[in-house]
Structure 1
């Protein structure tokens, strides 16, 4: 089916409603989005679901342990995101661009052999200003294609680059969290000598041993996403999380290790995931003999730094919310932990659409196929809104009945009930915010994503301090709702104003 011409003079702000009747249609674009998004969403939600199961097991020990582990998980996850998010996002875009340009160059070889064709091919491999591309020369490309034939593996420079950077960042994160556990927990509101102090510190230090595996796994997932293969990460993640679920009750209750057992089970599962992904990736991509000249460290550092600014802003908002909840007391923190884990696990389902949008858009922009880019952006945003509405209905009813899975404490359950409307009703906003992220990353619009998020963070942090001091637990959730609304608006603004890489929507 031919895609509609989106590069017309119509208002770019209407892109969310473009061809809305085809939102759920399984045409060529719909099938490609579903093929990438469904396995990606399942893989992305598998780990939060495993954390929810961890939370359910630990909740049976007691509310103090539940609150302590909640603080440690929030701290570990948010610090991990500082390294993970830029690494995975940049890797996905770079790998998709390289793979698309290589495929295009290969097809052109069979079209014409004259000099004009070769000149045209060279021009298409030259990066376009504004998109931040830095593709290899034609001569380097041809040399790498010869190596591919000889080795039977793809030569994609971003892959080994991502693994090297991921391994280094993982080791640094583990050292940092283990050595700075006490002051970090103190910042989160867990004072030394409090009931939560010891279990929180034990859990954080043990779980930090898995940081290298986490960073390597996510780097490899970024490579697979760029290759539009989200099934392999799904299989690996599910295998690791199943191991975690099996080991949790054994370590926590049978071996009587408590929160230490939960952390140990999680670390083992992360290294299992990393091993499975590495085994599958090295069979497809040459990871051991990359050309240093062709490596992409410069691109990673430049664009990764921009996204690092963004993710620090995002991280600080969510970490501050958890810290403010911990300062209210162990009951409030326990309830906040349950609500936050459900909120994140459900919202991350939209990240599957974001991954699909990013991979397809990166390929489309690399080929300068702007109709394809606009059609993809419209479709994934529409699907994100539909998904958010469905999640609202599911969580609005389901969490009322499922809260007792996590705890039997009456006070904690009462506060969970207060948080349920916020968790449920924010799902459409959250879904659009996540999908807008993927759309802008697919356009390599990393600078705008970074700077706009800094502005969002400043406003959201102000709201968090004011609303939490005035309204306590409820105020924190109101502030988080404001935060996600600002994120969604910032994502929409770039496309709606047809600026940056979306200028083609004006033509």
Structure 2
């Protein structure tokens, strides 16, 4: 029979050892890695939460304008997620490469990685801006925006698209600072430009009576403020400290970065594409459904981003320890991060379950939208522990630069989820069917990430 034994580890920390027939599994209340994890995760939490929090504020402000503006915001939120989040390789690809260079005490290489990331960010941002302006109407039609939503949605999209380069510069800058094991600087900058956004919202939406277009303008202005501050920090104020040389990168040095970008593009495009498809299917269910889905999705993403703070710590710490110490230390740190992720996910799920009687009414007072929102609220709650493990594992795999595996696993999982999502409107499953599709996506991610990690093959393939 398996038994649980209390005791202490070699650092003097209280632990329980679970003796199974195969191998012992140790659960510790404290760990020598906790300080490093929290030093990275807590500031990352504030920085990551700022954006979704302002999006929630945007949603609350726009919700006061009525059901149609709220639905138009929901459609646009998915489009911008699909357009810009697929370029998250500018952060996820930068962090482990900078982190590994820092672990090897090679600041010059870390600086070169940063310059490459910023160069790619500017180029990709300009392309994204042009594409969004040219294809604005077709994209909205593809997302299921009908005649009722088209005019306000089109105005919002064209204004917010002007911040395309700014968004990607911010993304690359986050990746750079995380690789330097610094999440405090991105936190301060992110909080700052989101305060600008949040402060401009009521002024532009209500005082100047710009409505939904005012929300778009507030977001775009805030993002450009953030991009400029990040550039000043990286290329001027802290340039020497970080080892950044103001030298145009050799185009050949961008090729390996672009290969990482390809894998992360496929991975993130599959993920965001599935979430975008979920919004499109909700729009096909009806205006009330997509309005409720907008609120539920924003709540879910806000909670997911809170857990993602642990993933940020995982990317930074795993890459650093692989560069400085090797796989054994990286695995010990990873195990502790997974424990933290699960605990945070459970806590968030319980907290939002307790807030269910109050929270939906904060975003809308439309009775039909409230009823639809409450029909899927339990999904938001139950998915949090799952998110806790999935997001941390994502960070661990990225820290180990297992980008190719992440891409392949995500494509397969997204395909299964997409099949369910497409059937939801036609089979009469409604908004509940859409959220079952999202649940299948997260369960598939858990399975595909856990398998190589449990088999202990992940760090064997990490770059030297």
After TM superposition, is the score higher than 0.5? Answer: yes
CA contact (8 A) 1:101 1:367 kept: yes
Q: Trace 1:396-407 onto structure 2 (pairs within 5 A).
A: 396-407=353-364
CA contact (8 A) 1:3 1:375 kept: no
- CA distance in 2 between partners of 1:224 and 1:18 (Å): 34
Q: 1:227 aligns with which of 180, 185, 198?
A: 180
CA contact (8 A) 1:59 1:406 kept: yes
Shift of 1:469: 3.1
Q: 1:272 aligns with which of 225, 230, 238?
A: 225
Shift of 1:399: 3.6
- CA distance in 1 between partners of 2:25 and 2:232 (Å): 42
Shift of 1:316: 1.4
Q: 1:86 aligns with which of 89, 104, 110?
A: 89
Q: Secondary structure, in 3 states, of the residue corresponding to 1:19?
A: strand
- Partner residue, 1:476: 434
Q: Trace 1:41-440 onto structure 2 (pairs within 5 A).
A: 41-83=45-87, 85-102=88-105, 144=108, 156-191=111-146, 194-282=147-235, 283-285=237-239, 287=244, 289-290=246-247, 292=249, 296-440=253-397
Alignment TM-score, normalising by the size of structure 1: 0.83
- CA distance in 1 between partners of 2:98 and 2:414 (Å): 30
**Structure 2 unaligned spans of 5+:** 1-8, 13-18
1:44-63 Cα offsets, whole Å, 9 max, x none, are 11101101100100000101
- CA distance in 2 between partners of 1:291 and 1:176 (Å): 26
1:55-85 Cα offsets, whole Å, 9 max, x none, are 10000010111001110111111221111x2
Q: Secondary structure, in 3 states, of the residue corresponding to 2:355?
A: helix
Shift of 1:398: 1.5
Structure whose alpha-carbon radius of gyration is higher: 1
- CA distance in 2 between partners of 1:186 and 1:200 (Å): 10
- Partner residue, 1:443: 400
1:449-497 Cα offsets, whole Å, 9 max, x none, are 1111111111111122234433111000111111111111111112112
- Partner residue, 2:4: none
Stretch of structure 1 that moved more, 250-259 or 303-312: 303-312
How many residues in Structure 1 have an aligned counterpart in Structure 2? 442
- CA distance in 2 between partners of 1:37 and 1:368 (Å): 21
Evaluate the alpha carbon distance shift between residue 353 and residue 262 of structure 1 in structure 2; reply closer, same or farther with a 3 A threshold. same
- CA distance in 1 between partners of 2:458 and 2:370 (Å): 47
Shift of 1:287: 4.5
Q: Secondary structure, in 3 states, of the residue corresponding to 2:36?
A: helix
Evaluate the alpha carbon distance shift between residue 464 and residue 347 of structure 1 in structure 2; reply closer, same or farther with a 3 A threshold. same
Evaluate the alpha carbon distance shift between residue 173 and residue 318 of structure 1 in structure 2; reply closer, same or farther with a 3 A threshold. same
- CA distance in 1 between partners of 2:144 and 2:117 (Å): 35
CA contact (8 A) 1:248 1:261 kept: yes
Shift of 1:264: 0.4
- Partner residue, 1:463: 420
Evaluate the alpha carbon distance shift between residue 262 and residue 292 of structure 1 in structure 2; reply closer, same or farther with a 3 A threshold. closer
- CA distance in 2 between partners of 1:183 and 1:102 (Å): 49
Shift of 1:291: 7.0
- CA distance in 1 between partners of 2:249 and 2:141 (Å): 43
CA contact (8 A) 2:97 2:110 kept: no
- CA distance in 2 between partners of 1:290 and 1:443 (Å): 28
Is it true that 1:487 corresponds to 2:445 in the alignment?
yes
Q: Secondary structure, in 3 states, of the residue corresponding to 2:84?
A: helix
Shift of 1:89: 0.4
- CA distance in 2 between partners of 1:293 and 1:412 (Å): 53
Alignment TM-score, normalising by the size of structure 2: 0.91
- CA distance in 1 between partners of 2:204 and 2:70 (Å): 16
**RCO (CA 8 Å, sep 6+): is it higher in 1 or 2?**
1
- Partner residue, 1:499: 457
- CA distance in 1 between partners of 2:341 and 2:460 (Å): 20
